[in-house]
Amino acid sequence: MGLIVSKGINLFFFLNLMTMELSPLTAVSPLDGRYRNAGAKLAPFFSEAALINYRIKVEIEYFIALCELPLPQLNGINKDLFEPLRAIYKQFSLADAQKIKDTEKITNHDVKAVEYFIKEKFDELGVPIEYKEFVHFGLTSQDINNTSVPMSIKEALQEEYLPLLNSIITMLKESAKDWRNVPMLARTHGQPASPTKLGKEIAVFIERLEVQLAQLKSIPFAAKFGGATGNFNAHHVAYPQINWIKFANDFAKDKLGLQRSQITTQIEHYDNLAALFDAQKRINTILVDLSRDIWAYVSMDYFKQKIKEGEIGSSAMPHKVNPIDFENAEGNLGIANALFEHLAAKLPISRLQRDLTDSTVLRNVGMPIGHTVLALQSLQKGWKKLLINEAKIAEDLENNWAVVAEAIQTVLRREGYPKPYEALKELTRTNTKITATSIADFIETLNVNDQIKAELKKISPSTFTGVDLF
């Protein structure tokens, strides 16, 4: 306590925070605090309660699958019980989750606490006692975790991430179409270069995103389901006549929507999960690139931003309208990628048949997805504020007539003109301003016919934009 006081921390406030209920104001993670509106959307997939619920779903569906096989000892179960059993996870509540957490304090084992909860529910439903020990029959905890986690990731991506990413791509397509005929000065190495079109520059990002999105969608959501070391030891010793490989494959695919890895240790390989995270990282990197480019265009006054009543751009400079949404997107994408990087590098590595490091980091899979979702929302918000400033774009083109040098020297090459590159170099690399007039005067000095001169004089920064690519 003395240390806290000596550092000037308000002791009363500190102690108060320590005892407060978790809220957006007391949360340590910004996803649960400042950005709770974004983080809350992922709570049904990645919260502690959500993980427990997914575990219950796997356990219940596994029990029902054993009944449908059927195992001889389960042949007599009343199939009318199946839907009430499914209601255990379909109607799962925070009170249920808390009850399981209270049990975990005693068991010191999270999956075993789930098993005990389900057995209590069996008693409430009047399931005959002889059936209860087939809950979690022959399984290890990772049969539950390595099906629950990929299922949660799959559903989070399908319900939250992919719709948002697709809306970003649609937004870019609309802008690319609107701006497809807007000529713009290109910049290579930050210097004026051969002109382009604004719509085409946006279309570059569309293609990159769509290619990587297709790769992401091709990655299967893999599951591990095979007992304590992956060999169905317990299953096989109890029922050697049953094809447990087929059972597990069908269960993972038909009941859980997952693809079962065939030869595993106690845990899933995580190679496909690593590939999934790497794919998301690549998409995020593209979006960082986009955010930075738009930031640069805003700084160049190619875009202005819609002003919202009451908003302040700078605490000191009233005139400023800062591109904060693109900066927020870039920052959150960076955090997401750092976490994706660690997850992808760590998860496929485990000592011998298994250590516990995978469990530790798997609990964080929602964090990079959360920061990615937050970034996508910021990017979308910022994009809706953009107002194209065509006058400034046109002004930059007009101030950079030197960029037509490439066009002129290429036509001269076509005509067999001697050393055309050197002739244009002599004109343009003088640190003097090149204008429409100086270009026209230069063309007049060329030893070519009037038809070629007329062709060259039609070239301008706003017309020298190449072919339409989309």
**What is the SS3 assignment for 277-309?**
HHHHHHHHHHHHHHHHHHHHHHHCCCEEECCCC
**Nearest C-alpha neighbor of 442 from the set 391, 406, 408:** 408
Distance separating alpha carbons of residues 191 and 196, to the nearest angstrom: 14
Mean pLDDT, range 289-305, rounded to an integer: 96
Please enumerate in sequence order all residues whose Cβ is within 8 A of that of 33, keeping only pairs 6 or more positions apart, or say none. 24, 25, 26, 27
Q: What is the pLDDT of residue 314?
A: 54
Q: What are phi and psi of 186, to 5 degrees?
A: -85, 160
pLDDT tier at 261, thresholds 50, 70, 90: very high
Q: What is the pLDDT of residues 278-290, one digit of tens each?
A: 999 999 999 999 9
Distance separating alpha carbons of residues 211 and 105, to the nearest angstrom: 47
pLDDT tier at 321, thresholds 50, 70, 90: confident
Q: What is the pLDDT of residue 182?
A: 98
Is 123 exposed, middle or buried, given 0-12, 13-18 or 19+ CB atoms closer than 10 A?
A: exposed
pLDDT tier at 309, thresholds 50, 70, 90: low
Mean pLDDT, range 28-47, rounded to an integer: 88
Q: What are phi and psi of 391, to 5 degrees?
A: -65, -40
Q: What is the pLDDT of residues 59-98, one digit of tens each?
A: 999 999 999 999 999 999 999 999 999 999 999 999 999 9
Are β-strands 222-223 and 191-197 bridged in parallel, bridged antiparallel, or unpaired?
Answer: unpaired
Q: What is the pLDDT of residue 61?
A: 98
Q: What is the pLDDT of residues 166-201, one digit of tens each?
A: 999 999 999 999 999 999 999 999 999 999 999 999
**23, 167, 299, 314: which is the annotated catalytic residue?**
314
Q: What is the pLDDT of residues 99-123, one digit of tens each?
A: 999 999 999 999 999 999 999 999 9
Distance separating alpha carbons of residues 205 and 203, to the nearest angstrom: 5
Mean pLDDT, range 264-277, rounded to an integer: 96
Whether 1 has a pLDDT exceeding 80, the answer reads no
pLDDT tier at 410, thresholds 50, 70, 90: very high
Q: What is the pLDDT of residues 118-175, one digit of tens each?
A: 999 999 999 999 999 999 999 999 999 999 999 999 999 999 999 999 999 999 999 9
Of the listed ranges 41-50, 301-310, 377-386, the least confidently predicted one is 301-310
What is the residue-averaged pLDDT of the chain? Answer: 92
351-355: list long-range contacts, CB under 8 Å, 24+ apart: 352/265, 353/229, 353/230, 353/265, 353/266, 354/142, 354/265, 354/266, 354/267
Q: What is the pLDDT of residue 426?
A: 79
DSSP 64: H
Residue that is written with structure tokens 């060329």 in the block: 446
Distance separating alpha carbons of residues 143 and 335, to the nearest angstrom: 30
Residue 189 designated active-site: yes
**Nearest C-alpha neighbor of 142 from the set 352, 362, 455:** 362
Whether 431 has a pLDDT exceeding 80, the answer reads no
pLDDT tier at 16, thresholds 50, 70, 90: low
Contact (Cβ atoms closer than 8 angstroms) between residue 31 and residue 370: yes
What class is the 400-457 domain?
mainly alpha
Q: What is the pLDDT of residue 19?
A: 66
What class is the 142-311+319-389 domain?
mainly alpha
Q: What is the pLDDT of residue 10?
A: 64
* Domain edges within the chain: 2-44, 52-140, 142-311+319-389, 400-457
Q: What is the pLDDT of residue 2?
A: 46
Whether 14 has a pLDDT exceeding 60, the answer reads no
Cite the DSSP H helix spans in 141-243: 141-156, 162-178, 198-217, 233-238
Residue 269 designated active-site: no
Query: Helix axis angle, 141-156 relative to 271-299, nearest 10°?
Result: 30
pLDDT tier at 38, thresholds 50, 70, 90: confident
Q: Which CATH number fits domain 52-140: 1.10.1380.10, 1.10.3720.10, 1.10.275.10, 3.30.465.10?
A: 1.10.275.10
Q: What is the pLDDT of residue 428?
A: 72
Contact (Cβ atoms closer than 8 angstroms) between residue 221 and residue 151: yes
Q: What is the pLDDT of residue 232?
A: 97
Are β-strands 259-260 and 222-223 bridged in parallel, bridged antiparallel, or unpaired?
Answer: parallel
Please enumerate in sequence order all residues whose Cβ is within 8 A of that of 464, keeping only pairs 6 or more positions apart, or say none. 194, 195, 403, 404, 406, 407
Q: What is the pLDDT of residue 320?
A: 58
Distance separating alpha carbons of residues 252 and 255, to the nearest angstrom: 6
**189, 218, 315, 319: which is the annotated catalytic residue?**
189
